Amino acid sequence: MYVACAIIPGTRRILVSGLTASAWLVHGIALWLMMFSPDALRVGFAVMLSAALWVSVLVYWLENLNFSLEGLKVLLLPNAALMSLLPIFFPGSLVALAGKTAMFPWHLGVALLAYSTLTIAAFHALVMSFQDAHLHKLRGNQSQHWLHAIIERLPALMTMEKILFRLVSLGFVLLTFTVLSGVIFSEQVLGVAFKWDHKTLLSLLSWALFGILLLGRRWRGWRGKTVLSFTLGGFLTLLLAYVGSRFVLEVMLHRSLA
């Protein structure tokens, strides 16, 4: 259904909006059934990526009510369709909920929202990079290349940048709660004593990069390539901390994460 929404012409906006919402609901139900069971929670890099794209579609759908984001659907929706199927091939592992505190599901929920929001921000930053590069390259050139047609349907770069900082700000707040619950309340929330491993260090580094970006925007008026570099750098660091480590363990080393 995501793919159908991506290829239907933008003039049929109501139909596309309805199909997108339906596909999003189906994706969400499938994700819920995959992740949750009465006594365990399924985690893994594929589940996390699928959840990130699920949240991405929601944000796209909501933002499209205020801004014309039709050009983004061709890039986002097919990828969401692919990621919705990824957990079938890489199901991850089950984490038993027995013995976990009541804060444990909240920690995982906030963490998932943080990663998903910052994934959207990184995707948005990549789109902005292509948009800026092609606008300069095609200035004075009336080429009808398909990528040029998509870019022409995007909002202005200043509007795209405002949306990006909304995403980064929200993701930073959620990531702050995730880091605090993992560092300060590690034993109570996660059931293990706090330790300085690669995941902790990379998470803190990612948090610092996003924090510096927001401060730079506030006090120095950072824009353009500096903003995109910090956004992508913070996201890639976070990706290495969580998704990357899970991919290595699950796919390359065939080790359980339970």
pTM of the model: 0.74
Tell whether the torsion through CA atoms of 78, 80, 84 and 87 is positive or negative: positive
- DSSP bridge partners of 37: 40
Q: Are 167 and 124 in contact (CB under 8 A)?
A: yes
Q: Are 76 and 63 in contact (CB under 8 A)?
A: no
**pLDDT tens, residue by residue, 68-84:** 666 667 777 888 888 88
- Lowest average pLDDT, out of 9-13, 57-61, 164-168, 222-226, goes to 9-13
Using pLDDT thresholds of 50, 70 and 90, give the confidence band for residue 172. Answer: very high
Question: What is the C-alpha to C-alpha distance for residues 165 and 217, in angstroms, rounded to an integer?
Answer: 9
Using pLDDT thresholds of 50, 70 and 90, give the confidence band for residue 13. Answer: low
**Domain edges within the chain:** 2-252
Q: Are 255 and 249 in contact (CB under 8 A)?
A: yes
Give the percent of the chain with pLDDT over 90. 11
Quote the mean pLDDT of the chain.
Answer: 77
pLDDT over 90 (residue 93): no
pLDDT of residue 168: 92
